[in-house]
Chain A
Amino acid sequence: MAHFTCEVVYRGIFQKNLAARICRGIVLASRKAGRWGIAFGRYGDSPQRNGIPAKDFAIVADTKEELEQNMARYEPKEVDVTICVDDTLSKGVESWAWYGLQPINRLTVPNGTLLMTSLQPVDQLLKDIHKKEAPYNLALIPAKASFSGLWVYKEDHTEARILGALAKIQPGFLSLDAVCQAIQEAEWGSELKAASARKAHDRLTSRSIKITEGNPETPFSFEMPKWWEMREGVTIPAIPVGKPMEGGKGYVPERNPYFKKYTTRTMRPVIDFDKCVKCTLCWIQCPDSCFDVTPDGLYDANMESCCGCGVCEAVCPAKDCVTMVREDAFEDNASQWEMWRKDKPAYTAWLGNKIKSKEHVVRSHGFRFRGQYEEEVKKELEQGGIEITAGIPGENAGTKQR
């Protein structure tokens, strides 16, 4: 008697189909060895919401009876393998629903595996991944996060590569042959994706992570109120209006004290305060009211409520004032304005570092020019990884085919 549980942590909506395909693949490949399985999503998640962390699960067992013990669960208490298909989620998972911040490795069993697609080195990832009270393995598939469009599926072989890697991590449940057979059946007999699975299987790198390694920060959490502590009538108090920042100047809106958007972001705005023309557009247009108005009339994006949508960058009329930078370039959620006020030259240097790095200003999803997809898939197959495609709007104007 044995069973195998796996979670896929992904971002809605762009990775919804990817996560579902991985979980279906696990169940169908396990079936090749006569096992029974289920694939399901965490129902309280809202995978239709842009960028929101969400989860899918696959559970397979030797017998139907054993599988039943794991069915009709909301979320398994522990998983053998955590699969993370966007490395900016290494900072943790805060669902659209209210769960607080779950470290990415929270459900991973002792000596289990966290399997990620990432181009970052392990040491860099460990700055974000929370420390765990038990050792586990961190396995990496070299790839950037696979993001598709709203309802379509991006055929970049990510699901095949992950299934191939799983066959290496859990060969007792998923043989490579079974995985390849299942993939081929789903692909009308084509061997193309099965080849990607085999490559990923052969190339997978893994490292054991000690209990001393990882981000020491205590994850944000809260107690849920008891029924008699809750307001009646399905009512919740409105967020109070804000108050001046200091000396009666500026303005800080009050924010939801429980729901933070730390891990909703894949990127965040970096502000060059010296270039700000104080036009107020970012402040007005931000759908999450994330900008604090500083006493000197500047706008400071508050990282508790920024969801990383990039509207501020899009509406800012001042050249190079707002730049969206990938979330993995940051290790905290500190105020940029405070940093700037304290030490302007140091801030300017910090800012320059963030925005000049091509690795960090690349967009994590969406296509920027026609033919990008074919180019990426080709490189992925030939080199086992793809080169980063720069993605500032307009930057690839030269590549566009007219």
Chain B
Amino acid sequence: MAVMTGTPPAGQTASDDKELLLSGSEACAEALTLADLDVVTAYPIRPYDTVMQAIAKKIANGQLVAEYIVAEGEHSQFEVVKHASTVGARVFCGSSGVGWMYAMECLTVTPPLRVPMICMVGNRALDDPGAFGVEHNDALVVRDLGWMLIWVDTAQEMLDTTLLAYRIAEDRRVFLPCAISADGAFLTHSQAIVQVPSRAKVDKFLPRYDRGDLLLHPDNPITVAPQANEDWVIEIRRQNNEAMARAYTVIEEAYADFRKVFGRGPENPWFEEYMTEDAEVILMGMGTISLPFKVGIRNMRSKGKKVGLIRPRWFRPFPTEKMVAALQGAKAIGVIDRDYSFGSPFGSGVVANEIRAAMYNAEKRPPLLSFICGLGGREVTLEDVYKAADLCFEAASSGKSPLKTQWLGVRE
């Protein structure tokens, strides 16, 4: 286990909370330091490389003692932390866009091995064309594999979620990897004021990682990942399904404890609701898309339009019942995807079709409009917000949804 040897800077003690100006990536590194990370692997790709740099700086400054392994590519990078986790190390890794794709084989084997690896995905458009800007398709690729997936929208939420992710993933009932998605540029590269809790509080919230009977150690000789035939595989998948099912309870417990220890954090871990109480139209979108939408919603509210926002945080496990309940009062729903799923039903993005599936057996099924917006890091403007809302209000009064997916902010 890594041991803290560095002394806090003058004028600060380990029990002090601090306020720092941090980017989303730096906030993540701050949380990793507080979590006393053991092993981190790194291979640079923008925007993920900003986390690497922040962690390297923490180690160089003596604030964090951890193995920092520069692998020769993302595939090895994810393999290294996977193995480190099986021998009991608290690990961190991450990537962006095609780097995440290059690690795909390792990403598939991590959940069945029940490795609580925490990753940050700095969301980035997949090639081609080579581009740096945000799209959510990279992280979404692992949505069916047993990865827990969460999207955050501020540096503060990044810090808090990193601590929460370790608490949840390392819970013996779960033991599944978790990827925290942060929009490239808008979150990874933007600095904001962040409340950084004391190490003492974090120690109170986050127990040591105990791999128990799954620990690969000479005193606990086990074989990990043997070849298995058709007599075993479906049972192993069933176990994974159960772990994901148990994560619902563990997530709620962790957020409740987080609020107790740190005195902040949402009551509803699953999604943020903004002005939805009396909303006729509910817009939905993940990540930093929430920021222009909140501004737009306030402007529309001042003109008497009853519109609100739901920002899903947890995409896996998906909070089906809670989400359906939250949408029951709406007269129209507009889902804004910062991703695409070519050839999917209605040509919609991944989130829109997920909401459609969740709503299928709901008592009330208001018209659902799907939008694709902000691809490749294109800024989401207030005009986009108003356009989406207007179309939703039309559907609310007609009771009918234009099934075709609308693309917003595209030159045409």
Contacts and interface: CB of A to CB of B under 8 A. Distances in A.
Interface of A: 43-44, 74, 97-99, 224-228, 230-238, 240
Q: Which 6 A-B pairs have the closest CB atoms?
A: A238-B221, A233-B114, A227-B235, A44-B229, A227-B238, A97-B229
Interface in B159-184: 175
B363 interface: no
Q: Which of A74, A99, A227, A235 has the most CB of B within 10 A?
A: A235
A12 to B, nearest CB: 15
19 contacts: A44-B231, A74-B230, A97-B229, A97-B231, A98-B229, A98-B231, A225-B235, A227-B242, A232-B239, A233-B112, A233-B113, A233-B115, A234-B112, A234-B114, A234-B224, A234-B236, A235-B222, A236-B226, A238-B221
B214 interface: yes
Contacts of A224: 231
A224 B224 CA distance: 19
B213 interface: yes
Nearest to A44: B229
Contacts of B10: none
Interface string B92-130: 000000000000000000001111000000000000000
Interface residues of B, number: 25
A43 B239 CA distance: 24
B60 interface: no
Interface in B138-191: 175
Nearest to B223: A236
Contacts of B115: 233
Nearest to B109: A234
B228 A234 contact: yes
Contacts of A44: 229-231
Contact of A43 (B213, B230, B234, B236): B230
A237 B221 contact: yes
Nearest to A97: B229
Contacts of A233: 112-115, 175, 214, 224
B224 to A, nearest CB: 5
Interface of B: 112-115, 175, 213-214, 221-226, 228-232, 234-236, 238-239, 242-243
Contact of A234 (B226, B230, B231): B226
A231 B175 CA distance: 13
B231 A230 contact: no
B395 to A, nearest CB: 44
A244 to B, nearest CB: 20
Nearest to B237: A227
A126 B398 CA distance: 82
B222 A236 contact: yes
Given A225-B235, A234-B225, 7 more contacts: A44-B229, A227-B235, A231-B213, A231-B214, A234-B114, A235-B224, A240-B221
A232 B213 CA distance: 9
Contacts of B113: 233-234
B259 to A, nearest CB: 30
Contacts of B223: 235-238
B90 to A, nearest CB: 17
Given A43-B230, A74-B230, A98-B229, A235 B214 contact: yes
A232 B214 contact: yes
Contacts of B242: 227-228
A7 to B, nearest CB: 18
A241 to B, nearest CB: 9
Given A43-B230, A44-B230, A238-B222, A232 B235 contact: no
A224 B234 CA distance: 13
Contacts of A236: 222-223, 226
Contacts of B243: 232
Contacts of B230: 43-44, 74
A232 B231 contact: no
A98 B175 CA distance: 28
A225 B226 CA distance: 16
A286 B223 CA distance: 21
Nearest to B238: A227
Nearest to A226: B235
Q: Which of A225, A227, A228 has the most CB of B within 10 A?
A: A227
Contacts of B112: 233-234
A261 B113 CA distance: 29
Contacts of A226: 235
B24 to A, nearest CB: 32
